[in-house]
Amino acid sequence: MAGVSVASALRERLDIPGGRPPFSVAGPLAPLLPGGGLRRGSVVAVRGSTALLLALLAAATVQGYWAAVVGLADIGVLAAAEAGVVLHRLALIPRPGTDPAPAVAALLDGVGLVALAGADRITDRARRSLVARARQRGAVLLPLGPWPGADVELRCRTEAWHGPEAGAGRLRSREVQVHATGRGAAARPRTARLLLPGPGGAVAQVPAGPPRAIKAVG
């Protein structure tokens, strides 16, 4: 059924400020998001996983758009590259100062995807102005953590790690459950089971066979 979109999805896609299409995301993540991508001008909160954030940024940077990550000094840049992010279009602002809002506002003017850690330090007022700015510029704000009034909130829960077994093997992939809730078009909750990271580092579908559950080792 790939390529066939139902009427509701079409409506979501047409409901775009400025008529610009959403930023695309990797295939396995698309069913979680209304319109199949990161809608311009929206706020997508990511909770519980840096890897999920990186996976969301990847496809857009491949298409020539820019992404910025604010306030995440310990981001694994190599993991970003493995997730498919084009590194020279990923700007890192690890230390945005005590109030990250002005830097985020400046970034929203020129960068399509702005991820932000430490959003709890932003006042409600600055928060509203950032949302308005993102909507006006057609950018997407991706707070890492809770964000009251986010259009979409993605929660990631680790189910199991595959690979290591009592000294042998190595970490290969992680099975996660991503749960999407939100407002408006995203009000209907959606859930997906994914490999994040998958075998190559990028996000992948869970293979059809029964997953090898990980056993506790004594």
CA distance 128 to 80: 29
Query: Counting contacts by CB under 8 A, is residue 217 touching another protein?
Result: yes
CB of 129 to another protein, least distance (A): 16
The answer to whether residue 51 forms part of the interface with another protein (CB under 8 A) is yes
User: How far from 103 is each of 44, 79, 98, 185, CA to CA, in Å?
Assistant: 19, 24, 11, 29
Q: 157: phi > 0 → left, psi -120 to 50 → alpha, else beta; which?
A: beta
Q: Which of 64, 148, 209, 210 binds another protein (CB under 8 A)?
A: 64
Determine, following the binding rule CB under 8 A, whether residue 84 of this chain makes contact with another protein: no
Burial class (CB in 10 A: 0-12, 13-18, 19+), 96: buried
Among 4, 7, 14, 216, binds another protein (CB under 8 A): 216
Q: Which candidate, 155, 60, 36, places its Cα nearest to that of 113?
A: 60
| Sequential DSSP letters for 184-195 | GGG-S-EEEEEE
- Binding segment for another protein among 21-29, 64-72, 128-136, 183-191 (CB under 8 A)? 64-72
Judged by CB under 8 A, the chain residues 178 through 207 that form the site for another protein are 197, 200-201
> Under a CB-based contact definition with an 8 Å cutoff, are residues 100 and 55 in contact?
no
* Encoded amino acid at 171, one letter: L
Nearer to another protein, 173 or 185 (CB): 173
Binding segment for another protein among 10-18, 20-28, 118-126, 167-175 (CB under 8 A)?
167-175
Which one of 25-33, 37-45, 75-83, 145-153 is the stretch in contact with another protein (CB under 8 A)? 75-83
Number of chain positions touching another protein (CB under 8 A): 64
- The single residue listed with the structure tokens 């840096």 is 50
Q: Give the footprint of another protein on residues 95-154 (CB under 8 A).
A: 95-97, 102-103, 106-112
**How far apart, in whole angstroms, are the C-alpha atoms of residue 159 and residue 177?**
7
Min separation Cβ 7 and another protein, Å: 32
- Pull the structure tokens for residue 124: 């409600």
18 near another protein, judged by CB under 8 A:
no
Give CA–CA dist 135/126, Å, rounded: 14
Shortest Å distance, C-beta 24 to another protein = 14
Where do contacts with another protein occur on this chain (CB under 8 A)? 48-51, 54, 64-66, 68, 73-82, 87-97, 102-103, 106-112, 157-161, 163-174, 197, 200-201, 214-218
